[in-house]
Amino acid sequence: MAAPGGILRAPSAPSLFLLSGPRGSGKTTLCRHLCDRARQAGLRVRGLLSPALIEEGQKAGIEAEDLATGLRLPLAGRGGPGLAFPGLDPWRFQESTLVWGNEALRQAAPCDWLFIDELGPLEFTLGAGWVAAFPLLADGYYQVAVVVVRRELLEKARSLWPSACMIDAADPAPLLDLLP
């Protein structure tokens, strides 16, 4: 299938990978490593990463990083100002970052490798967060998409993307094998 910009989807291999693992298992670190390798191979990398902000050994916040520009903005913090969502206490989300991140996702295709870190309860249950990811993934203007999904939401993700390949962060070999 040809996409804008001449990108072709590989019909013989899954192009969508659902990456999961326990909190702190290195999912974002793995995505960053894959981004670096894809760029070194000359591939167009797009999407969002959500690295944790660690203070005094504790997760104090979350940033959002646009892989197209490298721009990083604060996404969520513990308490304080921001949007509160049911079931996600103590996290407060920055509305302006959510708007910015969704616009980055709308501009992400076409690309070779697409990363979305992460789709969680905010997206699957509350209809907020990185909601622009759903039409982006459905359009398929990427060769490979890596989507971080919490384990407890994998069944919901599988119902949306039944042909997706499941990858555990503890065994990322299938993803690593796709890059030189």
State the pLDDT at residue 112: 94
For domain 14-176, is the CATH number 3.30.56.10?
Answer: no
- Please give the pLDDT value at position 12: 42
- Cα 44 to Cα 24, 39, 109, 110, 159: the distances in Å are 27, 7, 10, 9, 28
Q: What is the residue-averaged pLDDT of the chain?
A: 91
Domain spans of the chain, in order of start? 14-176
Summarised one tens digit per residue, pLDDT across range 44-86 is 999 999 999 999 999 999 999 999 999 999 999 998 899 999 9
Answer whether residue 6 shows pLDDT above 80.
no
- Give pLDDT, residue 80: 86
d(CA 16, CA 90): 32
Confidence (pLDDT) at 8: 41
Give 94-129 pLDDT, tens digit per residue: 999 999 999 999 999 999 999 999 999 999 999 999
